[in-house]
Amino acid sequence: KDQRTLWGSCSVKKNLNFNLRLASVPPETLDYVVIHELCHLREMNHSKKFWAHVGAACPGYSMHRRWLRKNCAAIYSNSAPVPAQ
């Protein structure tokens, strides 16, 4: 889906959807988004328990969250985002 405000989503029916624009992010950042949504299959919220699951599967997740926030405008304007470090 070409979602305007979400990188991914997990429905109550456990359907996972991902933003098509993720095709332009670094593979490690894409992995983080997939892990984030998969963790919603266990926790349908952003509680401490949820973030513990994310951190266990993706120890550097905060770096990828920052990268997405920093490069969001560039991704949506079709500009080339800054490579991940």
| pLDDT interval class at 76 (50, 70, 90) | confident
Rounded Cα–Cα distance for residues 67 and 61 (Å)? 10
Query: H or E segment at 18?
Result: strand 16-18
Of 12-21, 37-46, 73-82, minimum mean pLDDT range: 73-82
| pLDDT interval class at 77 (50, 70, 90) | confident
Domain ranges, ordered by start, for the chain: 8-76
- β-sheet bridge partners, residue 44: none
- β-sheet bridge partners, residue 17: 9
Rounded Cα–Cα distance for residues 23 and 18 (Å)? 10
Q: What number of CA atoms fall less than 13 Å from residue 56's CA on the CB side?
A: 8
The pTM (predicted TM-score) of the whole model is 0.85
Rounded Cα–Cα distance for residues 82 and 57 (Å)? 24
User: What percent of the chain is modeled with pLDDT above 90?
Assistant: 75
